[in-house]
Amino acid sequence: MSFVSAQNIFQSYDGRPILERVNLEVDEGEFISIVGASGCGKSTFLRLLLAQEQPSRGAIRIGGAVPAAEPGPDRGVVFQKYSVFPHMSVRENIIAGESFRRPLGRFFGAAKKAARARADATLERIGLGHVADAYPATLSGGMQQRLAIGQALAAKPRILLLDEPFGALDPGTRLAMHDFLTELRAAAPMTVFMVTHDLAEGFKLGDRVLVFDKPRWDPHDPGAYGATITYDFDARDDGIPFQTIKEVANVPDQT
Amino acid sequence: MRFINRRPGLALGVFLAALPFVAVLVAYIIGSQMRLAENPSDKLLPAPATIAQTAERLFTTPDKRSGRILLWHDTAASLIRLALGVGISAVLAVIFGLLIGLQPHMRAAFSGFVSVVSMIPPLAMLPILFIVFGLGETSKVVLIVVGILPFMIRDLSQRVIEIPREMIVKAETLGASSGVIALRVALPQLLPRLIQALRLSLGPAWLFLIAAEAIAADQGLGYRIFLVRRYLAMDVILTYVAWITALAFAMDLMLRWLSRRAFPWSEAAL
Ligand SMILES: Nc1ncnc2c1ncn2[C@@H]1O[C@H](COP(=O)(O)OP(=O)(O)O)[C@@H](O)[C@H]1O
Ligand SMILES: [Mg+2]
């Protein structure tokens, strides 16, 4: 069985179907980009992966475990906004990645010192060492998102979920964030799901690009059907799939 | 240029800010002089000089019978009641605000109840409080709590609900328990709001304090004002009113300063 497995997922709000028949198998270490029209349910799918919501039908398993009932430290997340804690300094935000699972949410004594040292090492690595004592509001958007990713990774999640993490950044900062994310993955392989509305970004960063769309469409009632994964592109090797494609004769299209 | 886009310069701004104060003062002086010219023993609008003399006496001269300076004594008594009432309300409001804002069962159980209770006019409860708690300190403190707590709980729980869901979910993904989320995510973000709520509640708190003191007390600023009312001692009343205003203003300034000092992160966003 694959690492992350979503089987026959349906989700509807107030009887309105948003997602239908979503099936997905993901191997450990894969980077999955998710693209699709605005409002088609990408964030909904991410919330399901996060276990922030339960699907109306179907189940999502990570590592074969029972489906989670609520978000936990095995799933890290970075949203477009509100991803760091505004009342904590940059360093405290990183420490929170480890300390929030403690009984009082804090380290004390020697453990506190050690966590502080680890946080400072992390901050150096992600290029935020010089602003360790600043509050997030004083940081640029790119630095805030870098901090958010660093904080999520400090908790050592099994999968990392990114919902349009660079959506609010200017193009230059966005490119720098791509390099940042690529470096992090080179240093420590991790399974990532990233929603983006930038197709090029999806292909650049992803191993696979999933397209969410409505396979059925009723012109008289646009909300009648939900979206599903309509394409599952191989995006390795700069998205030029014929380099590795295996031709399988007499088998209908898998997607 | 449009009327709404015209702005005063610095000098004009200061002048305009001072204008209402000066106007009220001048109107008072004129009225006082007119009445005193007609009847030198008029007590309704004492001359500013008389008020100043009275104020000096009140602030510095001990009472003949008790040997204490009554104004300071009244101030201490009132401030203790106020601090107790406001302090108890603040602590309870934070606890209930967090519970109602974070926990769906608590919200289901209490948010409707608090809304209804906050509609009860607190002064209508005063006789009940006197009957239940007696005429001592307790009933006065409880009136302040009853008067401002429902509003503070509603305000603070709403602030907790307004914390972006993303932030709560983020804390969950870091492994935080409900308690850690309340303690390390919600509470610190609630404290600046608490100070705002306190600033808004101080006015009503004074109102309830003075009302309770007026009806049943043997010391306190409200007690004194209503006591000397019988002798039409306007000079004393005006001094006390000015003093209460100064106290309230100073508290508001202090809270504003505290908010800026204690929560640099919330100021940084501005
Ligand atoms: N909690 C909710 N309750 C009701 N409708 C929702 C909820 N969350 C999302 N929706 C609706 O579901 C649809 C998909 O939303 P979303 O997953 O956020 O889309 P996107 O692909 O842009 O991320 C939208 O029409 C949105 O209005
Ligand atoms: Mg979205």
What distance in Å separates residue B168's CA from the closest CA in chain A?
10
| Distance from the Cα of residue B116 to its chain's centroid | 23
Whole-number pLDDT of residue A238: 63
Chain segment A18-34, per-residue pLDDT in tens: 999 999 999 999 999 99
Q: How far apart are CA A252 and CA A95, in angstroms?
A: 51
pLDDT at A255 over 60: no
The DSSP letter of residue A234 is: E
Q: Name the CA dihedral angle for B243, B244, B247, B248, rounded to a multiple of 10 degrees.
A: -150
| pLDDT, mean over chain B | 93
Helix (H) or strand (E) holding A24: strand A16-26
Identify the burial level of A137 via C-beta atoms within 10 angstroms of its C-beta, where 0-12 means exposed, 13-18 middle and 19 or more buried.
middle
- Nearest atom, ligand 1, residue A46 CA: 17
Residue with tokens 């909904």: A44
pLDDT at B45 over 80: yes
Sign (positive or negative) of CA dihedral B37, B40, B45, B51: positive
Count of C-beta atoms within a 10 Å radius of residue A65? 9
Is the CB of residue A42 below 6 angstroms from any atom belonging to ligand 1? yes
Residue A45 Cα to ligand 1 middle (Å):
10
Whole-number pLDDT of residue B270: 41
Cα A218-A224-A226 angle, rounded to 5 deg: 105
pLDDT at A242 over 90: no
Residue of chain A nearest B190, judged by CA positions: A87
- Percent of chain B residues past pLDDT 70, beyond the cut: 99
Q: How far apart are CA A223 and CA A217, in angstroms?
A: 8
The DSSP result for chain B, as a single string, is --GGG----HHHHHHHHHHHHHHHHHHHHHHHHHHHHH-TT--SS--HHHHHHHHHHHHHPPPTTT-S-HHHHHHHHHHHHHHHHHHHHHHHHHHHHHHHHH-HHHHHHHHHHHHHHTTS-HHHHHHHHHHHH-SSHHHHHHHHHHHHHHHHHHHHHHHHHHS-HHHHHHHHHTT--HHHIIIIIIHHHHHHHHHHHHHHHHHHHHHHHHHHHHHS-SSSHHHHHHHHGGGT-HHHHHHHHHHHHHHHHHHHHHHHHHHHHH-HHHHHT-
Q: Whose CA is nearest to atom 20 of ligand 1?
A: A39
Residues of B in contact with A106 (CB under 8 A): 184
Residues of B in contact with A135 (CB under 8 A): 264-265, 268
- Nearest atom, ligand 1, residue A212 CA: 21
Task: State ipTM.
Answer: 0.88
Sign (positive or negative) of CA dihedral B106, B107, B111, B112: negative
Boundaries of every domain in chain B: 72-269
Residues sharing a CB contact under 8 Å with residue A181, sequence separation 6 or more, in sequence order:
A149, A192, A205
Helix (H) or strand (E) holding A146: helix A141-154
Residues of B in contact with A147 (CB under 8 A): none
Chain segment A60-78, per-residue pLDDT in tens: 999 989 999 999 999 999 9
Contact B32, B47 (CB under 8 A): yes
Does domain B72-269 fall into CATH 1.10.3720.10?
A: yes
Chain segment A185-215, per-residue pLDDT in tens: 888 888 999 999 889 999 999 999 999 998 8
pLDDT at A245 over 90: no
Helix (H) or strand (E) holding A11: strand A4-13
| Distance from the Cα of residue B258 to its chain's centroid | 16
Q: What is the fold, at CATH topology level, of the domain defined by A1-74+157-255?
A: Rossmann fold (3.40.50)
Q: Residues of B numbered 139-178 whose beta carbons fall under 8 angstroms of chain A's beta carbons: which are they?
A: 164, 166-167, 169-177
Residues sharing a CB contact under 8 Å with residue B135, sequence separation 6 or more, in sequence order:
B216, B217
Chain segment B226-255, per-residue pLDDT in tens: 999 988 899 999 999 999 999 999 999 999
Q: How many residues does chain A have?
A: 255
> What is the three-class DSSP state of A76?
strand
Whole-number pLDDT of residue B267: 66
Q: Which residues of A touch B (CB under 8 A)?
A: 50, 52, 70-73, 75-77, 79, 81-88, 96-97, 100-106, 135-138, 148, 151-152, 155, 157
Residue A163 Cα to ligand 1 middle (Å):
13
Q: Name the CA dihedral angle for A72, A74, A80, A81, rounded to a multiple of 10 degrees.
A: 40
What distance in Å separates residue B197's CA from the closest CA in chain A?
19
Identify the burial level of A130 via C-beta atoms within 10 angstroms of its C-beta, where 0-12 means exposed, 13-18 middle and 19 or more buried.
exposed
Contact B213, B263 (CB under 8 A): no
| Single-letter residue type at A226 | G
Q: Which two tokens stand for residue A90?
A: 């940059």
pTM value? 0.87
| pLDDT, mean over chain A | 88
Q: How far apart are CA B24 and CA B15, in angstroms?
A: 14
Contact A52, A71 (CB under 8 A): yes
Q: Which two tokens stand for residue B149?
A: 């707590």
Whole-number pLDDT of residue A234: 81
Count of C-beta atoms within a 10 Å radius of residue A112? 13
- Percent of chain B residues past pLDDT 90, beyond the cut: 85
pLDDT at B268 over 70: no
Residue A164 Cα to ligand 2 middle (Å):
7
Whole-number pLDDT of residue B42: 86
Contact A80, A168 (CB under 8 A): yes
> What is the three-class DSSP state of A78?
strand
pLDDT at A252 over 70: no
pLDDT at A241 over 70: no
Whole-number pLDDT of residue A186: 86
A125 pLDDT band, cuts 50/70/90, is: confident
Of B167, B263, B264, the CB nearest to A85: B167
When pLDDT is averaged across residues B111-138 and rounded to a whole number, the result is 92
Chain segment A221-230, per-residue pLDDT in tens: 877 788 899 8
Residue of chain A nearest B179, judged by CA positions: A104
Whole-number pLDDT of residue A160: 95
Contact A99, A115 (CB under 8 A): yes
Helix (H) or strand (E) holding A12: strand A4-13
Packing angle between helix A141-154 and helix B165-173, nearest 10 degrees? 40
pLDDT at A247 over 60: no
> What is the three-class DSSP state of A96?
helix
Boundaries of every domain in chain A: 1-74+157-255, 85-155
